Chain A
Amino acid sequence: MSGPPAILRPGLLPEPLIFERGARGRAGALVDPGAAGGPAPTDVIPPAFRREDDLVGLPEVSELDVVRHFTRLSQWNLCAASTLYPLGSCTMKYNPLMNETVARLAGFADLHPLLPERWTQGALELMARLAGFLREVSGLPGVTLQPAAGAHGELTGMKMIRAYHVDRGDPRRHVLIPASAHGTNPASAALCGYGVREVPANHEGMLEVETVRRLLDGDAAALMVTNPNTLGVFERDIAAIAAAVHEAGALVYCDGANMNALMGVAKPGDMGADVLQFNLHKTFSTPHGGGGPGAGPVAVSARLEEYLPVPRLVRESDAWRWREDFPRAIGRVRSFHGNFAMLVRAYCYMRALGGDGLEDATSMAVLNANYVRARVATTYPLAYATPSLHECVFSDHDLAATGVHTLDVAKRLLDYGFFAPTIYFPLVVPGALMIEPTETESKQTLDEFVAALEAIAAEARSDPEMVKAAPHSTFVGRLDETRAARRPVLRWTKPES
């Protein structure tokens, strides 16, 4: 490849803020306020309780203004539907469009969550089946579908762990967490009142039983572990580590963000995990939405089942019912039952692939990652020689002399039409560049991606200043993030006229 492809920008039009469009008094959709009769607000709401302004600050635009505005904005985004997103630990696989059609069926979309169960047996059956699928994939007997995101699942899991220890009269005070863990792990532990003790990995990027054992005292409530870990490496000693944790009376929290590497290969339940959260917006294909919504169902071992949140789906007289009378439950973690529309999508995906398809997804995900690893390792240094599963980590070490860093490589990749890999995570690898292609990418796409990385390494040597000023062909160039933080402007305000 000689240089990036020409990035054509047809229809990539500028567009102001929605508040800068329109005209005073321009209205969009208006209903007839008196269509069902009834008194005016001034007749029934005392003045002190009525809105003090007429919604100043909200847009005044026509429907066409709105359509043009958001259509233009959308065109400024890269997205997984337009290009490869090789983000490590994000599993940006193809989001099947059939999921979107199915989630919008009126029989799902129009259901009020408090309808009597006799009217919603289809929805409840779907949730029960999905829970069953997740039990099978995790190898764990208890499942809740309530959590709205992975981090929410972590919080739910850690609350259950805490409840378990409190029940035994010994709440304990800290949680062991590898230095390579995702930031949500220590943050979730802290939200349960725990302190955090960091567990170092060995020179192969893995945890060792002896290291964990040394840190286990009577005050450790749990070990939080990701497997494969955030380096894409399978924790070889996980069974022995889990046994040591259990011996010390503590529990094993398994972060399931990387489940795409394990389906049909190994089950966290068999490794000794007590809690596992899934990320449906990773492993199970629900779309990332620019930052959610996702869903973070949690699976637990038998010893934690009684702590699962309420309400729980139970089978009674040949029908599904919600029940809350579980005295040891940790309570609720959100309103209603779960991110149902995301559960529908994940069920649709798992039903389409079946067990054989999920195993194929894992196989091809690991093949793709190892192919990229082999091809890229000739140009960028691998962080660890240890075998990779579904993602691999490189560093920018060899580029040091050029002054070009991982950040610059990431920005230059945007000029080649790819989204950048995960950068500077995990923290244990300086200048980390973490690549997870996922199984839905073709060899052609991967070859193009590898060629781009090779070209950028060459550019770093021949024209470092150009690379350091990248991206050049995107809608905006590098943005002043320092200014954004020092002088925060977090909302539009009408300019003084």
Chain B
Amino acid sequence: MRFTPHTAAEVQAMLGAIGAPSVAALFAHVPAALRATAALRLPAGIDECGVREELAALAGANRSGDGLVFLGAGAYPHFVPAAVEQLAGRAEFATAYTPYQPEVSQGTLQATFEFQSAIAALTGMEVANASMYDGASAAAEAVLMAQRLRPDRTAVVLSRALHPQYRQVIATYLEGVGDVEIVTVAYGEGGTTALPSTAVLERASCLVLGSPNVFGAIEDLAAAAAAAHAGGGLLVNVTTEALALALLRTPGACGVDIAVAEGQSLGLPLSYGGPGLGLFASRQSFLRSLPGRLVGETVDASGRRGFVLTLATREQHIRRERATSNICTNHGLCALQATIYMALLGRRGLGVLAERNLRGAHALAERLAGLGRLRFAAPYFNEFVLQVPDARRRWEAALGRGVVAGLPLADWYPELEDCLLVCATEVHDTAAHDRLVAALGGTA
């Protein structure tokens, strides 16, 4: 299948205008020693019908779980209203370029301004950028930003209760950047971070916590902020379940300096983990150090309100090796999906949905407690750690019955033997809860 429209006559006419004898002649200047001697060894092209059949077979070889997947751990099963996909799927949004020519890109630019506004409101922070790739890379960029703001510091402090993939990404990004040590602090018996001493924090540009953390537990961000600030550093908060922001005290109100999150919960399908949506917000005073694109409000010559990419002197195309980040293409269409989702649910709907999540997870936890116990006492949103005897065997048995009973945590935290990280959202109704309880070996 091909999308090239050229007829033989057109090719001839074009070659005539160029003054070349053949299409091959256009490549004659490529050194012969480098020219491919064989055709590309890829399967031969097929028509759309054949492609669709093959892709349907590949999709059909997967099992998505029919609403019986109680997995969170950084990606959350939520219901996505049809309007999100239909509106964001409009070609005018999906096939638009980066809005460098603002006169013909006001749709993208205004929607991005609305995204920045909504994320600032959701996080309680002063300014939000136009998106990063995902929560993990956003967290890494937040740490780099903290180092730029506190250049004399030689360490960053990460909570061990921060999602391990996020800690890995931060470590990768920090490799080779100055000589910055990563200090990891433990979590306490309650499931939240044991805050480090001032002596440790005085060496660090930032303290990085997740809240809710990887165990689903809600951290005391205000106490963490006070500790970080007492040490002269910054507090970075990471929220992997963005919906929690609708119900919990905002990072801004807690004194967080840089708030990042994974925004997939806000209207993006799971899609096997990508594309996600990196949310990034901070204090206004840090603006010049912010990575990523920013859309700002302005006017045209006739005084009409419009929007433009702005403060580009921070970015790679202007500042090159002195840019605040190397990011160019971000996750613009994902940010649009989130904006539409937040508008559809709105001020009331997001709060109600968050409440549905919290209540359902707590109801499920209470039923599961009969099989074992809640491992941590900290308050939680829609994810919790269940300790059951023989967890791995029960998990396998549940899988055999078509139920994914959360994530066995021992792979990530060897000391949490016999623990399952269980997530329940609005997609899990009481019947689904029944199935999970039964599958794990209790009675429904």
Q: In the bound complex, how far is the Cα of B420 from the Cα of A412, in angstroms?
A: 61
The listed residue (B118, B124, B175, B320) touching A162 by CB distance below 8 A is B175
A458 at the interface (CB under 8 A from B): no
Q: In the bound complex, how far is the Cα of B274 from the Cα of A491, in angstroms?
A: 27
Q: In the bound complex, how far is the Cα of B358 from the Cα of A288, in angstroms?
A: 36
The listed residue (B36, B104, B136, B328) touching A78 by CB distance below 8 A is B104
A71 at the interface (CB under 8 A from B): yes
A selection of 21 A-B contacts at a CB cut-off of 8 Å is: A36-B428, A55-B246, A55-B347, A112-B69, A121-B62, A133-B42, A136-B40, A183-B328, A196-B320, A289-B96, A289-B332, A334-B133, A335-B137, A336-B273, A339-B274, A340-B271, A364-B4, A366-B26, A370-B20, A475-B103, A485-B296
Specify which of A101, A290, A359, A411 lies most central, judged by the most chain B CB atoms within 10 Å of its CB. Answer: A290
B285 at the interface (CB under 8 A from A): no
Specify which of B31, B93, B273 lies most central, judged by the most chain A CB atoms within 10 Å of its CB. Answer: B273
* Contact between B1 and A352, CB atoms less than 8 A apart: yes
- Could you give, for residues 337-354 of chain B, a 1 whenever the CB lies within 8 Å of some chain A CB and a 0 otherwise? 001101111111111110
The listed residue (A37, A125, A291, A355) touching B360 by CB distance below 8 A is A37
Q: In the bound complex, how far is the Cα of B121 from the Cα of A251, in angstroms?
A: 46
* Contact between A36 and B114, CB atoms less than 8 A apart: no
A263 at the interface (CB under 8 A from B): yes
Q: Which of B150-158, B194-202, B229-237, B297-305 contacts A (4 or more CB under 8 A)?
A: B297-305
A148 with B274, Cβ < 8 A, contacts A54-B351, A80-B97 known: yes
* Contact between B329 and A291, CB atoms less than 8 A apart: yes
Q: Which of A212-220, A297-305, A325-333, A394-402 contacts B (4 or more CB under 8 A)?
A: A325-333
Residues of A contacting B351 in the complex (Cβ-Cβ under 8 angstroms): 51, 54-55
* Contact between A74 and B92, CB atoms less than 8 A apart: yes
A75 at the interface (CB under 8 A from B): yes
User: Which residues of chain A from 145 to 192 have a CB within 8 Å of any chain B CB?
Assistant: 148-152, 154-155, 159, 162-163, 166, 171, 182-184, 186-192
* Contact between A387 and B29, CB atoms less than 8 A apart: yes
B106 at the interface (CB under 8 A from A): yes
* Contact between B43 and A76, CB atoms less than 8 A apart: no
- Could you give, for residues 281-314 of chain B, a 1 whenever the CB lies within 8 Å of some chain A CB and a 0 otherwise? 0000001000001111111111010111011110
The listed residue (B111, B295, B299) touching A483 by CB distance below 8 A is B299
Distance between A263 CB and nearest chain B CB, rounded to angstroms: 7
Contacts A115-B65, A290-B93 given; 17 further ones with Cβ under 8 A?
A: A36-B356, A36-B428, A58-B350, A61-B346, A70-B343, A90-B97, A95-B94, A95-B95, A192-B177, A290-B112, A335-B276, A361-B4, A420-B101, A439-B4, A440-B4, A477-B302, A491-B116
- Could you give, for residues 96-127 of chain A, a 1 whenever the CB lies within 8 Å of some chain B CB and a 0 otherwise? 10101111111111111111100111110110
B418 at the interface (CB under 8 A from A): no
User: Which residues of chain A from 324 to 361 have a CB within 8 Å of any chain B CB?
Assistant: 330-342, 344, 347-348, 350-361
When A and B form their complex, what is the total count of cross-chain residue pairs whose Cβ atoms lie within 8 Å? 717
Residues of A contacting B323 in the complex (Cβ-Cβ under 8 angstroms): 183, 187, 190
Specify which of A15, A267, A291, A490 lies most central, judged by the most chain B CB atoms within 10 Å of its CB. Answer: A291
Residues of B contacting A34 in the complex (Cβ-Cβ under 8 angstroms): 356, 359
Q: How large is the interface on A (under 10, 10 to 19, 20 to 34, 35 or more residues)?
A: 35 or more
* Contact between A367 and B247, CB atoms less than 8 A apart: no
Instruction: For the complex of A and B, list the 8 residue pairs with the smallest distance between their C-beta atoms, beginning with the closest.
Output: A336-B273, A113-B273, A354-B45, A107-B59, A57-B121, A291-B332, A122-B61, A38-B359
* Contact between A332 and B96, CB atoms less than 8 A apart: no
Residue of B nearest to A371 (CB): B14
A74 with B102, Cβ < 8 A, contacts A51-B248, A57-B118 known: no
Q: In the bound complex, how far is the Cα of B406 from the Cα of A8, in angstroms?
A: 55
- Could you give, for residues 18-40 of chain A, a 1 whenever the CB lies within 8 Å of some chain B CB and a 0 otherwise? 11001001111111111111111
Distance between A16 CB and nearest chain B CB, rounded to angstroms: 9
